[in-house]
Amino acid sequence: MSTLSHAPDLSQRPPRSPRVRLGGYVILPRMLDKGRASLIGKNGEYHYACPLDQRFLAFAGIDAEKLKEQLATGAGDEEVLNWITQNSSTKPQDWEIAHWTTYQEQRTPSDVETKGYFAKLQSSVSETREDILTWFDLLDADDFVSYGGKP
């Protein structure tokens, strides 16, 4: 059995951007980083299977705990992607993955309550940046500022 020596320490650096793709899926590499880090107790403020991760899990038809078991074996990204492809209950086609990915990259708050929540989070990152429009923009900016970057 492999080890988790490649697991990131998320108390020292953020997980990969939600924009990074694996098998065409956005969110997945970030979720794998959080899962691996949680297995070694170095997930910092990040949570595996959070609401963002749940979007991937639902679309791909994958159980969070079973995926975490795969991560615990020390499987690399490609091995995990192959496992996801084999175990998906939804079996999305490449064109569906591309459409879903595009939607996730462009997703913005959609109701008044969520817009207020988004604005609150955005102001904690920067009160002057007008380019933070999507959830991915907000996550990337928050990761940057949380680890010492200037807004």
Q: pLDDT for 6-25, tens place per residue? A: 899 999 999 999 999 999 99
122/101 same-domain check: no
Residue 140 counted as domain residue: yes
Q: Which of 71, 68, 83 is nearest to 4 (CA)?
A: 71
> Averaged over 49-71, what is the pLDDT?
98
5/68 same-domain check: yes
99/117 same-domain check: no
- The pTM is what? 0.93
Provide the residue range defining the domain that includes 86: 1-106
Q: How many domains, in total, are found in the chain? A: 2
Residue 120 counted as domain residue: yes
Q: Are 3 and 74 in contact (CB under 8 A)?
A: yes
In this predicted model, what pLDDT tens digit does every residue of 87-100 receive, in sequence order? 999 999 999 999 99
